[in-house]
Structures are given as structure tokens and as C-alpha cells.
Amino acid sequence: MGMTMTQKILAAHAGLDSVVAGQLIEAKLDLVLGNDITSPVAINELEKAGVDKIFDRERIALVMDHFTPNKDIKAAQQVKKVRTFAQKYDVLNYFDVGQMGIEHALLPEQGLVGPGDCVIGADSHTCTYGALGAFSTGVGSTDMAAGMATGKTWFKVPSAIKFVLTGEPQGWVTGKDVILHIIGMIGVDGARYKSMEFTGDGVKHLSMDSRLCIANMAIEAGAKNGIFPVDEITEEYCKGRFQRMPVVYTADEDAVYDETYTIDLSALRPTVAFPHLPENTKTVDEIGPQEVKIDQSVIGSCTNGRLEDLRAAAAILKGRKVAKNVRCIVFPGTQTIYLQALREGLLEIFVEAGAVVSTPTCGPCLGGHMGILAENEKAVSTTNRNFIGRMGHITSEIYLASPAVAAASAVTGYITDPGALGAPCGR
């Protein structure tokens, strides 16, 4: 019986010739990730267990991004605990203010993850790295602790769903619209504990930024991971960046899939997820021009804070103004992205339009800081979740969308089709 990409990676890291869906395995890890919320819990578990070592100082990444720069004393104490741990064990990949970024934008950029890797992270959106042909998935803080100590963890091998992508996205359609369309189609539990494997001729028309966005939101369909084939776009992205030797795995022709879906990318339209689940999707054509009045527009996060995203938002905002009574907040994903956006004049465009630009942080996405919603407020956001109370008050509402839709909506004050503004998409 053939294996999927994910199954081949897991088999290799378990030292087995083959694995099957449902099999329990112990696998070696290439990287263990934690952030300023989850790492302190893992560190506490290590201390309680009397563990006084880590498996590899170069294979652990600790990224201070959720409440950083620290929003209050508790957040500062959390980061101090992680900082002290990183200094004690000389953790090479510790990222704090000045070197930080949003973890799932930062790790690919820094070359810490790549093709063939097996990665766990104490954050649900660790599945992002499947865009690079890696197996990566989120775990709890206790699993992170065990991973830091031993360099291993156990998995139940997932079955898989194949998504055959055909055609080429048109107009303002990007990876965000692709994944929102898929989640709207299969539901938030449609891929529960399964691997979402993306393939087909349409993949070549998706940039790495779009792939990272799609893989990032695989968890929003309940998936164990999302994964893309390694092609020329992957190789170009990893060239001179990835710190280890890439290992390329391809699915067998007779690999078994629970379901197969074919999606024509050329038929998709900009898509918005209405409250309070990512599956509640509508295309911009199904939304009235003044149907949803917004109070805030958030552009950024681990889902859509990359350079391509900022360029799209700037193309919309250039020469325009943010609508009265709308707050538009832009969060570049990393310091490197911030600097490049500065050099390209994108930040100037945002500020002149009446938006504000923040240091990289996860703050608004999880209702932590830097953009909390008040009672009954509505936000269009390029983040990945729109659950009740996710970004603030329990009566607030979140509409998930692409950077182009978020920028266009900031200009009009209502959720808006970016094509309606007539700005060139630059594709």
C-alpha cells in the first residue's frame, strides 16, 4: 500500500520502512517550537520532572510574540522565565524584541524549517510549515516539554484528504481566499486529524506566501497538518536560507486518500468568513455593498503578515484614506518584512492613508493587546480565527478576509470587494 507525503516523512523519522493511518509511532524531531504563552508551561513541567538538559540547543526555537512587547507585568514575567531558560541552556534560536517576529512567519524566513522536516510546536498554527514540504503540527505544552528533553514525540499517523488544485487565481484572489473556500466547503471539522495534501497543476500558480497562508489555516478545518509538494518555488525559497539539507518526499501513486476534491482556482472569488466560524463563508459577490459596517481593519498576523500581503494592502490604500471612524492596524510578520516594507515605501502609504503600523506581534489576533474590540464592534481581519470573543468583547464580531479585502473595507467602512475600487492587483 502506498503512502502519502506526510506518511513518508513520519515513517522516515520513526526509522520505519512504512506506516499506515492510525498507527502509533515515536518519531525524531527536527525542531521544537514554543512561544511566550506556551513555553513557560513547558519549562515548569521540565522543572517539576527534575529534567536539567535539553536534547539540542540548535533544534529548539523560542519566539516571544504573543504578548510581546510585553503588555503588562504578567506578560513580562512570562517572557523573563523563557529568557532565563534560554540563557541557562544556551538556546541558539531565542527571539525577543528587536529580533523577533510572529513565529510562523519568522521560522521559515530564518531557514529553521524546510522540506522533509518533522516539527512540533506548542501553538496550533505550527502546521504552517507544510507549505515547505515539511510535516509540522501543533501540540500541547507538556508534549513540547518532552520534545525539548528527548528530541522525540509520539504520533498517530493521520489519514489524508487530497486537494487537486487546477487553474490560476484571477484578480485579487490569493491563498487566503483558497483556504477560506476550502473550509467553507468541508467545514471546521471536515479534516479532523487528517493530513490536507495539496497537489495539482494549480499549485505552481500559488506563491510561497500564499502556500504558507493556506497551510497555516489547515488547523481551522480540524487537520493534523497541511502539506504542499516541493517544487521550483519551494526550492527557490529555501535556497541560501534553509539551514539543513532538504529531503524531498512525494506521495506514492497508489497512496490512499479518504476523499479527493478538485478545485478550479480560476473560478474562485475573494471570500470572507462571517462570525463565528471560519466555515461561514461568503464571496464578495454575495455581500451587499453596505451590508457589514466595520469599526476596525486588521492587516497582518502569522496568516497574512508577509511582504506579498503588505504589498496588496498598500496597492489598495495608496492615494486613499481610511474611512472616518475606522481603525486600520497593520502588523508586519517579522522585523525583516517590516524593514523591506519600509524600504519599498509601503509603511509610508499606510501612515498617509491613516493606518497605524505596529511592531510584529500576535497581539490583536488572540485578543491580547494592540487592537482589542469593544462591545458590539465589528472587525475585518486577515487573521485565522473568528470565534466568539476571539479579539475582544464576547459581543464583538470578526470577519476573516484577505489583505486586499481588509484594505478595501478600511477605505469604505464596509466589507468591500477590492475589485470595486478599481486598484490594479499587480498580479
Cis peptide before 158 (omega within 30 of 0): no
* Residues with pLDDT less than 70, the chain: 424, 426-427
Residues 409-420, buried b or exposed e (16+ Cβ, 10 A)?
bbbbbbbbbbbe
Secondary structure of residue 300 in the 3-state scheme: strand
Q: CA 358 to CA 335: how far, in whole Å?
A: 11
The DSSP letter of residue 151 is S
C-alpha dist (Å) from residue 336 to 134, 262, 306, 363: 23, 36, 10, 19
Q: CA 132 to CA 238: how far, in whole Å?
A: 8
**What pLDDT is recorded for position 315?**
95
**What pLDDT is recorded for position 64?**
94
Q: Are 194 and 224 in contact (CB under 8 A)?
A: yes
**What pLDDT is recorded for position 76?**
93
Q: Are 109 and 367 in contact (CB under 8 A)?
A: no
- What does the longest C-alpha to C-alpha distance in the chain come to? 62
Sketch out the chain's domains with CATH numbers: 5-264 (3.30.499.10), 272-421 (3.30.499.10)
- For helices 208-216 and 307-317, what crossing angle results, to 10°? 100
pLDDT 10s digits, 271-302: 999 999 999 999 999 998 889 999 999 999 99
Burial of 102 (0-12, 13-18, 19+ CB in 10 A): buried
pLDDT 10s digits, 24-44: 999 999 999 999 999 999 999
31-35 and 60-63 beta bridge pairing: parallel
Q: Are 252 and 160 in contact (CB under 8 A)?
A: no
Please give the model's pTM, rounded to 2 decimal places.
0.95
- For helices 307-317 and 403-412, what crossing angle results, to 10°? 30
Q: Find the angle CA(146)-CA(150)-CA(151) to the nearest 5 degrees.
A: 100
Cis peptide before 181 (omega within 30 of 0): no
Q: Are 268 and 181 in contact (CB under 8 A)?
A: yes
CA atoms within 13 A on the CB side of 299: 33
| Residue appearing with cell numbers 479527493 | 260
Q: CA 126 to CA 137: how far, in whole Å?
A: 5
Q: Are 373 and 268 in contact (CB under 8 A)?
A: no
**What pLDDT is recorded for position 413?**
96
Single-letter code of the amino acid located at 250: T
24-28 and 152-156 beta bridge pairing: antiparallel
C-alpha cell at 175: 491563498
Mean pLDDT of the chain, nearest integer: 95
Strand positions, DSSP E, 48-187:
60-63, 93-95, 118-121, 135-138, 152-156, 159-166
**What pLDDT is recorded for position 365?**
81
Burial of 318 (0-12, 13-18, 19+ CB in 10 A): middle
Q: Find the angle CA(284)-CA(290)-CA(294) to the nearest 5 degrees.
A: 90
CA nearest neighbour of 278 among 183, 191, 195: 183
